[in-house]
Amino acid sequence: MTVSVQSSPVPLDRIVALVEQAVDPAVVERGRARQAAVWRGDEPDYLPLLLGHTEEGTPHERRWKLAEHQLMGGVRAPEFDAYPHYSLAEQVDSPEKMLSEYLWEILSWARSRSDAQLAVRPYFINSLPEAFGARVEMNEQSGFVITDRPAKEALRDLDPERLVHGRLFSRVLECAALFRARVPRGVRVFPTDTGGPFVTAQALRGDAIFTDFYDDPEFVGALLDKCADICIRAGRLLKRAVGEDETSGYHGALYMARGAIRVVDDASTNISPEFHRELVLPRIRRVFAAFGGGWYHSCGVYRGHLDHLLAAPEITAFNFGNPEMWDDFNAVIGRIVRAGKVYYGGLPVRPGEQLERAMRRILRQTGGQRKGLILMLNGKGPWPQPEESMNLWHRLQDEMARSADKFGKY
């Protein structure tokens, strides 16, 4: 695909220059090496901590947050206030405007000098359903929404090869090419979100799929098989478009050294653990297997699903979007680490809790080893300066290594 990069009134070149001045390749490589060690099951010098800043408000009230995962605890870029900003509709119409908004987060990540990687994604939606008959419209407040879906009978004949003819999916590929041509030196492009087999199936079928589990489980299984094929096909095309190989890659601030895809499974909070284990999990495992593993993401709480998810050898890492909703998320992190997996996500800091206490609480779940954690901060703050947070995080790990009672209560 050939992309023509046109001149534009968007001050993208100036924002790119700011980012390039801020990027320290040695800091980025140090963070990459730490993350890679955790993914391989090795012990780095220090467990990774990812810091950054995401703007809460802008001169344009309807600006859309595009970055993953809106890091906290980093420095703010004061130049942000002096530049134009764009609505969601403007960004969708102009990849240059989309990239310019995205780079403000990247500038913060680079200046915060943590273990965060620097990668942007073209677009920010699950573009797969539109290629298979779903009608997708843009809502300025909440992004793209599905307003109409194909009939059930049409879904029985779903052809995964139709993906390449999707208007939105084609647009994502074009945007990826433009991003690759315009990103600052030291910044990468990573594949846009595609959901997972059940998220895609639910998007195509709507809420009717929840009764299909009871009334027509064979249909559900067949649809999930096709959606798994679609996810694999999309993952390969997107990775090719951004220049990644199939067994490693980036996702925002994250580097994946063993397994290279994210499977989003939010819709599964609405089905029983039994349905999930019997019908959804086998298709999820097949998607992960195609890319050598990867990380599982869901919002909400998965109390009944966690056992069989942890037992799936194809899943390398876990990320939960609402750690504060779990009764005892410390124990959840401990279970992930003891299973030989990686917890990539927020460090839930409780209201009024000191950051040091929260860090000690989480480090206790490692059993004294520098394994299984790639952390972001999660909470309302206020946060120390990023250098202070990094020094504290490292000091506590050194203290843990010297402790005779590594399993003691921190």
- Convert the pLDDT of each residue in 36-63 to its tens digit: 999 999 999 999 999 999 876 543 443 4
Q: Is the pLDDT of residue 182 over 50?
A: yes
Q: Are 22 and 106 in contact (CB under 8 A)?
A: no
| Apex 107 CA angle, 256 and 362, nearest 5 | 50
The residues, any chain, with a CB within 8 Å of residue 13's CB and separated by 6 or more, are none
Mean pLDDT of 64-92: 81
**pLDDT above 90 as % of the chain:** 70
For the chain, the average pLDDT equals 89
- Protein fold of 12-402: TIM Barrel (3.20.20)
Q: Is the pLDDT of residue 324 over 90?
A: no
From CA 249, how far away is CA 173, in angstroms rounded?
Answer: 17
Phi first, then psi, for residue 359 (nearest 5°) are -65, -40
Q: Are 94 and 86 in contact (CB under 8 A)?
A: yes
Radius of gyration of the chain (CA): 21
The better pLDDT of the pair 69, 121 is held by 121
Q: pLDDT band at residue 410, thresholds of 50, 70 and 90?
A: very low
Report the sign of the C-alpha dihedral through residues 107, 112, 116, 117, in that order. Answer: positive
pLDDT given for residue 407 in this prediction: 44
From CA 146, how far away is CA 134, in angstroms rounded?
Answer: 7
The better pLDDT of the pair 126, 299 is held by 299
The better pLDDT of the pair 323, 131 is held by 131
Mean pLDDT of 305-320: 96
> pTM of this prediction?
0.92
pLDDT given for residue 348 in this prediction: 80
Distance of CA 169 to the CA centre of its chain: 19
For every residue of 188-219, DSSP letters joined together read EE-PPP---HHHHHHHHHTTHHHHHHHH-HHH
The better pLDDT of the pair 376, 349 is held by 376
Mean pLDDT of 149-155: 95
Q: Is the pLDDT of residue 74 over 90?
A: yes
The better pLDDT of the pair 214, 93 is held by 214
From CA 385, how far away is CA 113, in angstroms rounded?
Answer: 11
The domain limits of the chain are: 12-402
Coil, strand or helix: which one is 250?
strand
Q: Which H or E run contains 378?
A: strand 373-378
CA distances 205 to 8, 63, 79, 134, 270, Å, are 40, 30, 45, 9, 14
**Tokens in use for 362?**
């989480």
For the stretch 279-307, pLDDT in tens is: 999 999 999 999 999 999 998 887 789 99
Q: pLDDT band at residue 405, thresholds of 50, 70 and 90?
A: low
Q: Is the pLDDT of residue 3 over 70?
A: no
Q: pLDDT band at residue 380, thresholds of 50, 70 and 90?
A: confident
Mean pLDDT of 4-12: 64
